[in-house]
Amino acid sequence: MLGVLLDRETLDRQDLDFGALTATLPRWEMHAQTRPEELGPRLAEATVAVSNKVVLDAAALAAAPALRLICVAATGTNNIDLEAARARGIEVCNVRAYATPSVVQHVFALILGLTRRLGEHRQAVAAGAWAASPHFTLLDYPMRELGGLTLGIVGHGELGRAVARTAECFGMRVRIAARAGAGDTRPGRVPLQTLLREVDVLSLHCPLTGQTRGLIGADELALMKPDALLINTARGGIVDEAALAEALGAGRLGGAGIDVLEEEPPQHGSPLLVRELPKLIVTPHVAWASREARQRLLDGVAANVRAWLAGTPSNRVTD
């Protein structure tokens, strides 16, 4: 049996241990990346395919007669044609909860970076403002403590729950948004329009679906307090980037920490990147990507291959 890893460079910077994965099958081919025209030849004899972001559509699966298992090196499976895989009897497995500590820490790095005004303080020191101060300190950028602030969470799954637990350790009050468009009446859930008015920090952890695309737009941002923060480590399309850029530029929002954009990489630009915006931190979709999380992800892929070989597939998404 042959295993093929299609896009190693999206996971590995020569800092991961592949031993658990390579031990699962007699043969493995590891490709740094795979262009569409390379996909057919690379899958022609493959029994197992591992993909992080390479798209495996119906045509690709039809050209892979030996393929029996697809391991998604991620949680999201939107790059796999699940219906075509099911029709061809190909198992599809993902990896779950591998990045929770990494994402939670990134969320709070963004929150703390904004509330402690780290960017402004760093720039002030570099510009010589501290050296020129008549005082031992520089109080030009007022800061906030998290205790007593209200954190609103959209998407109360694995990541949302972990962020909520951490927020409570900081003394924050946590409010959970009702699920979009689902008539969510569960106790403790708050309609989004109500939540937006209450929160000091809004953190997004929902998947990108037809119902959540553009969930946070101009109307929603207008409901938020002028000193509130928006944190998005979920998916870029959930937030209207032009509306967010306008709100930040006009001073109608306290700040934003953004790890995801609608186009990644942003080869055609983004309203959040075309000009310097106040109180904005943008990171390049790395909330998930601590070395430890990437190793857990790789080990999770290996565990899925072993489970499939044993006849007890785990983390199946084609049931």
What is the set of active-site residues? 235, 264, 285
Which residue type does 311 have? Answer: G
The tokens 């637990």 sit on which residue?
165
208: left (phi over 0), alpha (psi -120 to 50) or beta: beta
DSSP code, position 80: B
Q: Are 31 and 6 in contact (CB under 8 A)?
A: yes
CA distance 116 to 262: 28
DSSP 140-153: SS----STTPEEEE
CA dihedral sign, ordered 287, 292, 298, 299: negative
Token pair for 278: 């106040």
Q: Which residues pair with 51 in a beta bridge?
A: 72
What's the chain's length in residues? 319
Cα–Cα–Cα angle for 281, 294, 29, rounded to 5 degrees: 130
Pairwise CA distance, residues 141 & 174, whole Å: 26
Helices (H), 215-262: 218-223, 241-249
Distance CA 81, CA 76 (A): 12
Q: What is the arrangement of strands in the sheet containing 91-93, beginning at the earlier edge strand?
A: 27-30, 2-5, 48-51, 69-72, 91-93
Residue whose pair of structure tokens reads 């493959």 in the numeric block: 46
Amino acid (one-letter) located at 241: E
CA-CA distance, 33 to 173, in Å (whole number)? 44
